[in-house]
Amino acid sequence: MRKYVVIYRSVLMENLQYTVNIAMGFISYFFIIFVFINLWDYMYAAPGDLIAGYTKEQMIWYVMITEMIWFGARSTTIRQQVPTDIRGGNIAYLVNKPYWYPLYILAKYTGEWNIQLPMYAVLTTVIGVTMVGAVPNFHPVTLLAAVPCIVLGVTIHGMFKICISMLSFWIEDSNPFQWLYDKLILVVGTIFPVEIFPASLHPILKLTPIYTVCYGPAKLIVDFSVEKYLEILLAQVLYLAIGCGIMCLLYEKGGRKLYVNGG
């Protein structure tokens, strides 16, 4: 395991040089949040109104937290490097080292989001406190439960993105599948909470990664309950196990199909 810690640390060292680049993403984040603050201001006609069980403050904080996870977990490694490695044949020069390629990528990805996510967390807190106010009924102890869920959610997200990228072993371009996955997460779980959608869709949505990646962690911060926490944690553990299995299978099967261009 030490080698993966070293890979993680090396990426961390590398990414620390790019904190200014990461900070440039704050502009898009701020713009999106500004739009949503105004949108929900308009939608909530009177103070104390509830939409899908959320107060205005809860709703805006929900969007801010899911966007924070979304922006913080952005990674060129899992989205671009894996398909490029596979299609261009560069993977050949990575798999002949004594590490397991999917874990190598996961360690790199962790090194990336470990810099980005805390930066976005600070920005979210500053924007939230100054423009929206504190989260209603929020207790800091909640974070002890929510932070591990965010970590698990981001890891599950990375694992599924790696799985989609590994489809490049079979197809020319995995980008359409990345696009579908991204849009599903963005529209269904990030911009709007699951409760906004018809009740008949809830069981289906609970079976998708949306529930574990962004909805679950954000829900715990804006409206914590032990029951919800255990439910989300269980779903995340299951998703982690399933994702891990799919990743192993795809890599094992795909590796045998490896075609290396240029010799």
Partner 1 sequence: MKVIEAEELSKHFLVKQKEKGMKGSIKAIFCPQTEEIKAVDKVSFGVEEGEVLAFIGPNGAGKSTTIKMLTGILYPDGGRVEVLGIDPVKKRKQLAYQIGTVFGQKEQLWTHLTPYDNFRFFGAIYDLSGGETEKRIAELADIFELADFINTPVRNLSLGQRIRCEIAASLIHKPKVLFLDEPTIGLDPVVKENIRMLIRQMNRELHTTIFLTSHDIGDIEKLCKRIVIVNSGQIVMDDSMEHLKYHYLNKKIVEVKLQEETELPPMEGITIRKRKGRHVRFEVDTSVMKINDALRSVDAEHVEDINISNIPLENIIMEIYQSEGRADGL
Contacts with partner 1, residue ranges (CB under 8 A): 2-3, 6-7, 10, 13-14, 17, 90, 92-93, 95-100, 255-256, 258-260, 262-263
47 or 262: whose CB is closer to partner 1?
A: 262
Q: How far is the CB of 63 from partner 1 (least distance, A)?
A: 35
109 or 224: whose CB is closer to partner 1?
A: 109
Calpha distance 185→40 (Å, rounded) = 20
Q: Are 5 and 105 in contact (CB under 8 A)?
A: no
8 or 224: whose CB is closer to partner 1?
A: 8
Q: How far is the CB of 174 from partner 1 (least distance, A)?
A: 17
183 or 253: whose CB is closer to partner 1?
A: 253
Cβ neighbours of 110 (radius 10 Å):
21
Q: How far is the CB of 141 from partner 1 (least distance, A)?
A: 37
Q: How far is the CB of 119 from partner 1 (least distance, A)?
A: 19
Provide the token pair at 114: 């470990």
90 or 208: whose CB is closer to partner 1?
A: 90
Q: Are 118 and 15 in contact (CB under 8 A)?
A: no
13 or 52: whose CB is closer to partner 1?
A: 13
Q: How far is the CB of 17 from partner 1 (least distance, A)?
A: 7
| Residue of 160, 171, 257, 152 lying closest to 215 (CA atoms) | 152
Q: How far is the CB of 49 from partner 1 (least distance, A)?
A: 51
Q: How far is the CB of 258 from partner 1 (least distance, A)?
A: 6
239 or 251: whose CB is closer to partner 1?
A: 251
